[in-house]
Amino acid sequence: MQVATGKSILNGIAIGPLRIYKKDETETTVNSSLTPEEEYARFDAARVKAQEQLGVLYDKALDEVGEENAAIFEIHQMMLEDDDLLDSVKSIIDTQGATAEYAVATAGDNLAAAFAAMEDAYMRARATDIKDISRRVVNILTGQSDGDLLDDKPAILVADDLTPSETVQLDKSKLLGFITRHGSSNSHTAILARTMNIPALIGVDFQDDWDGKMAVIDGYNSCVYIEPAAELLTAMEEKRSNDLKQEALLQTLKKKPNITLDGREIKVYANIGNASDVGLVIQNDAQGIGLFRSEFIYLDSQDYPTEDQQFLLYKRVVETMAGKKVIIRTLDIGADKQADYFELDKEENPALGYRAIRICLTRKDIFKTQLRAILRASAFGTVSIMFPMVISVREVRDAKELLEECRAELKERGVAMGEVEIGIMVETPAAVMMAEELAEEVQFFSLGTNDLTQYTLAIDRQNPKLDNFYDSHHPAVLRMIKHTVEAGHRHGCWVGICGELGADQTLTETFLRMGLDELSVSPSAVLPLRKLIRSLDLSKTSEVQKLT
């Protein structure tokens, strides 16, 4: 038996034969017998077809993993419109008399290398996207395809890396799990794996002779067993069977309250990216929506969505939730979420740049359009508004002033509105340190622990080279959370978490002992979290109290 280690993407067990996938290298003819105009026409036709394929992938991903995760394929479509790529392809065709496929492959390699050399981790990650889209266009031009990554029989897929498009195209009825040599736990592919509940390991130094061998992915211990002994295989099969039984048991928790053994109640809400995710919220019995990422309405549009368009989407979500709280985060675009029609400048450090509330307060027409739409939807249920990336009291007051202007405008139009609770995302160290003052301005705080962790630790969470340094359990992060809770409560604010730490069950007891009022997680994490909450007794002294 061989044992190889990696980094686990999902705590789960996968058992089956290994199938090693190697991408075929597409050979491209350099010199063309056609005119440059004819070659460029071939490229343009292939580019259009690639965009159509990506549209199909987007629809597939939308059904399987929701709008937030499907958005990567919209980004790929936009990249095929990028002037840098188009100009580079045309230049290679014109100056070298090259075929369209050679020009696309060369331009893609050159641009990918340029992005890979950048200091900013987000921009480096775009290198993989460029390779993905250029390979797609080349395959169309040459009439080749990567074929089926899996054979007819179910298997554990093994690859150097998997692109988001490859991951979404996999036949889930055949995919038992996957193992890759490269990749990051925060990559699009890893996020898709978690969303689709696929056991996966990254960073595994696999061998070519593994192909066809029986193996077990042990996501709990971050390893893979090759040709395991009969005793180990039996134990892993039992563990997998227990996992399936546990999933079935979770369903019995529906309609049960989130109350600890000593009587403490905590709200468990769900995060969504679009209106179509509401079905998952209801299916998993969340008590409300703690984070509606409204920016995906903008990312899914070719132009600024109108007030009416937004209103209808918000109204549908609010009506479907039938009186349960819906917290809508206002536009959080910028950084890694770009829409061409915003015409945002390229920035040296987009994560710290012109984004979120900073855009809204300087482009007030866009912001007020959204605020009016939300206020109109508030007449149909329980709505809260949450402002992202806040660092000062002035920003909150300016945003509230614009909200009141919108309320006055709608009142003059005779439009019905409901009462709206106001809150902010606490996702910067500045907001934590200003929590006392900020709590005087709003009714609630929601901790965005993803950004709060990376800003506190000065570590880009999307940079795989820093995985060993990135520690979401760092005492500094936990103390910031505790400080925010205490400051909020002193001034009558309820405090929740909507970042990924909210679903980290190793911290659930810690968070409840800190006094957190609400946890907002992916819909699939609601029932497991309820099970844990109902097993805790906070009246007893615990070792977790020492963490902070």
> Going by DSSP bridges, is the β-strand pair 7-8/200-202 parallel, antiparallel, or unpaired?
antiparallel
Whether residue 387 contacts residue 395, with contact meaning beta carbons closer than 8 Å, is answered with yes
Catalytic residue among 360, 406, 493, 498: 498
CA 494/CA 458 separation, integer angstroms: 28
Is residue 493 part of the annotated active site? The answer reads no
DSSP 321: T
Whether residue 331 contacts residue 366, with contact meaning beta carbons closer than 8 Å, is answered with yes
CA 101/CA 37 separation, integer angstroms: 14
CA 287/CA 267 separation, integer angstroms: 7
Whether residue 272 contacts residue 278, with contact meaning beta carbons closer than 8 Å, is answered with yes
CA 183/CA 100 separation, integer angstroms: 30
Is residue 188 part of the annotated active site? The answer reads yes
Q: What residues have CB less than 8 Å from 76, skipping those under 6 apart?
A: 54, 129, 132, 133, 165
CA 453/CA 485 separation, integer angstroms: 16
Burial 52-81 (b: 16+ CB within 10 A, else e): ebbeebbeebbeebbbbbbbbbbbbbbbbe
Catalytic residue among 76, 188, 360, 406: 188
Structure tokens at 49: 């077809």
* Residue 438 φ/ψ, nearest 5 degrees: -65, -35
CA 313/CA 326 separation, integer angstroms: 13
In 62-218, the DSSP E strands lie at 155-159, 175-180, 200-202, 214-218
> Could you give the residue numbers annotated as active site?
188, 498
